[in-house]
Amino acid sequence: MDNRLSAILVWALAALLTASLHTACAQVRETTGPVQVEIELQFVEFQLADLEPVTREGAIDMPVILALRQKGKGRLLAAPKVVTCSGQNATVKGVKEYIYPTEYEVSWPKGTNVVAASSPAVVPAALETREGGAVLNVTPTLAPDRELIDLILQPEFVWPPVWKDYGWTSTDPAGNKKEFRAEQPFFHSCNLCTHIVVHSGAPVLVGGGLPGPDGTTMVYALVTARIVDARGELALKE
């Protein structure tokens, strides 16, 4: 009987030690394993008429922005989001490519005496490409206490271009008129480059006060960084 009791006690102690070891290993993995950070940056556009009353009372800060958003003010332009490991650079973009000529060549029709009777052809000689939309480049680094997140941010938002025609009208010797189009895009953008430290899950106003394309709005940039696990779930309670 004593032997059976001793065996049971040994088995129970071994099971308890095994469970404790598994718990300890899980805690070690949780505190020392690879960490992922989810970063979301919002570009929000506000009407100047909505901002002027609050600027008379003080600076525009995060509580002011949140209060305006709760009142239904502001328009979300874009909200790029990306997840990356601590210390690893990441880029996310949602853009449209605009290809446009920067130089033109004049080409006359080939043949005898066609110059006097024909109009030249104007064709693009050089092309450039620019992206319009939202881009977020970020490098997050988790602090040793796993409460603060160091962020190096380079976000940019580019509106669709406004096209201006620099073309002209040509008249050939026969009196025929021909229009030549030479459109060029004008891009309006908001971008910033900054290095900040944030708490996980806390939204932060990282920049703004930048005028919109028509001069009647201002754009602000808000960032929220969260520590997540391999399943994309929050690793720490906020």
pLDDT the model gives residue 77:
97
Kindly tell me if the per-residue pLDDT of 79 is higher than 60.
Answer: yes
In terms of average pLDDT, the best of 17-26, 51-60, 89-98 is 89-98
Tell me the whole-structure pTM to 2 decimals. 0.75
**Tokens, residue 172:** 């050939």
Q: One-letter amino acid identity for 217?
A: T
Contact status, residue 136 vs residue 82, Cβ threshold 8 Å? yes
In 146-216, DSSP assigns E strands to 148-158, 162-165, 168-171, 177-180, 183-186, 189-191, 194-199, 204-211
Look at residue 119 in the predicted model and tell me its pLDDT.
64
CA 136 to chain centroid: 3
- Taking the mean position of all CA atoms in its chain, how far away is CA 131? 13
Q: What is the pLDDT of residues 200-215, one digit of tens each?
A: 999 999 999 999 999 9
| Torsion angle (degrees, nearest 10) of CA 74, 80, 85, 90 | -130
Q: Contact 195/202 with Cβ under 8 angstroms?
A: no
Q: Tens of pLDDT along 102-127? A: 888 877 766 555 544 556 677 888 89
At 126, list the tokens.
């050089």
User: Is 95:72 a contact under the CB 8 Å cutoff?
Assistant: no
What are the pLDDT digits (tens) for 169-188? 777 667 778 787 888 899 99
Confidence label for 34 from pLDDT (cuts 50, 70 and 90): low
pLDDT number for residue 148: 93
Instruction: Give the single-character DSSP code of 160.
Output: P
Phi, psi of 232 (to 5 degrees): 85, 10
- The span from the CA of 22 to the CA of 193, in Å, is 44
Instruction: Give the model confidence (pLDDT) of 127-145 as tens digits.
Output: 999 999 999 999 999 998 8
CB 160 within 8 A of CB 189: no
pLDDT of residue 26: 46
